[in-house]
Structure 1
C-alpha cells in the first residue's frame, strides 16, 4: 500500500479493508440489455451492483450500489461539443448526493486509448486535484483481456483484474483483487467505466 500504512478512501473509508480482498465480478444475464454486473466477496455475498444504461435508461450514466441496494456512486460520461470533438473519453464519479452543476466529482477518468492505443495509458485523478500531481492512478495492461492493474503514481498496485476464462470459458466472470487500504467502491467504479468503454455489460 502506498505510504506503507493507513486507509485511502475515495468514496468512503467504509469500503476500505485492512486485508487483501478478492472480489468476483459476474455479468448479468445477456437478456438484460446493458444491465451491468454484480460483485460478490469470497463468501458469495453481493457487495456491489453496477447498473448500466439498460436499467437506468440513459447512456453515459453508471450507478454503483452497495450490497443492500443503496446507491453510493454515480458516474457520468462528460458530454458537450468539445468532448464530442475530443480524442478521448472523460468520465466523472460523484457521491450519492450528486447534483449536476453544483458538486465537484470525487474522481475523473481519462481514456485516450481510442487515439493512442500504444502510448497513452488510461489515467484517473482524485479530486480535488493536486497542482503537483495531475493524476493519481493509471491502468496498466488490458481490461478487455482481463489482465490489468490499477496502479498509483508511485507504481504500487492498488487492484488487479484477473481473468477466469481458463476455468469458466467466459469473460463474463472474473476476479478483482484489491490491496489492503484501497477503496473497493472506487475500484469497482473504475471497473464499471472500463466495462462501458469496452462495450461490455453496462453499454447498450
Structure 2
C-alpha cells in the first residue's frame, strides 16, 4: 500500500473494512416482525454485514452491526432521556466490542428531532479526534443522501438504482457506494 493510500485510509472500526478501491454494497431491509434490520451484500451477493434490532421484537433503541459471519462489531444505543423529547437532537452512541466482549465508545451520532427541523444534517463525532467529524446530508428515508468528512470530502453515497426503483415501489433495497480507504463498517452503522 502506498503512502497516499495510508493517508486516505480511515479505519474507525477496523482497517479490515477499508478497501483500496470504491465499493458498492446492496442493502436489503428485513421484515420488522421478527428482528427487522438489514442485510448488506457485496457485488457477488455475499452477506458482508447485517444490522439487528430494528424490529418489533428487537431490543428497543439498540442496534447491533455484525460482520458476514455474525460476529458483533458495533453496538449502537439511543441515549434516551425524558429531556430528549424537548431537545433539538436525538443522540445515539456507538461502541465497538473488544475480544473480551467489552464495549468501547467510538462515536456519537446526533440527528435532528423531527419536531424541530427537517433539513438539518445528521452529525457524527468520533470519540478520538484523529479523523474529525462527519455529516449526513440529504434525505435518508428516501434513500438519497451522502456522508462527508469534516473537509467536505465525500466518503459515501446512498441511493436507489434506477432498475430497482422501477420494480420495487418500497424502500427495501438500496445501495451504498463507499469510497476507497473508508471504513465500511463505520459507514453502515
- Same fold judged by TM-score > 0.5? yes
Cross-structure match for 2:144: 147
Tell me, what secondary structure is at the counterpart of 1:82? helix
Residue of structure 1 in register with 2:159 after alignment: 162
Residue number in structure 2 paired with 1:39: 40
Please list every run of 5 or more consecutive structure 2 residues that lacks an aligned counterpart in the other structure. Answer: none
Gaps of 5+ in 1: 190-204
**Does the residue aligned with 1:79 lie in a helix, a strand or coil?**
coil
1:34 CA drift (Å): 4.9
Cα distance in 1 for residues equivalent to 2:143 and 2:133: 22
Change (3 A) 1:29 1:57: closer
Correspondences of 1:8-157 after superposition (within 5 Å): 8-30=10-32, 32-54=33-55, 57-97=58-98, 99=102, 104-114=104-114, 115-118=116-119, 120-129=120-129, 136-157=133-154
Distance 1:153 1:57 in 2: 33
The CA RMSD measured in Å over matched residues stands at 2.3
Length-normalised TM-score, structure 2: 0.85
How far apart are 1:126 and its partner, in Å?
A: 1.2
Q: Structure 2 CA distance, aligned partners of 1:108 and 1:56? A: 25
Instruction: Give 1:53 deviation, angstroms.
Output: 4.4
**Structure 1 contact 113–122 (Cα < 8 Å) conserved:** no
Determine helix, strand or coil for the equivalent of 2:118. Answer: coil
Q: Say which structure is richer in strand.
A: 2
Aligned residues: 179
TM-score by length of 1: 0.79
Deviations 1:44-71 (A, max 9, x none): 0000010024387321100010001111
Q: What CA distance in whole angstroms lies between the structure 2 residues aligned with 1:91 and 1:74? A: 10
**1:183 counterpart residue number:** 183
The separation in 2 between residues aligned to 1:138 and 1:41, in whole angstroms, is: 24
Taking a change above 3 Å as real, the CA distance of residues 154 and 84 of structure 1, as seen in their structure-2 partners, is same
Q: Note if contact 1:64-1:73 (Cα within 8 Å) is conserved in structure 2.
A: yes
Moved over 2 A (4+): 3-6, 53-57, 80-85, 166-170
- Using CA pairs below 8 Å that are at least 6 residues apart, which structure has the higher relative contact order? 1
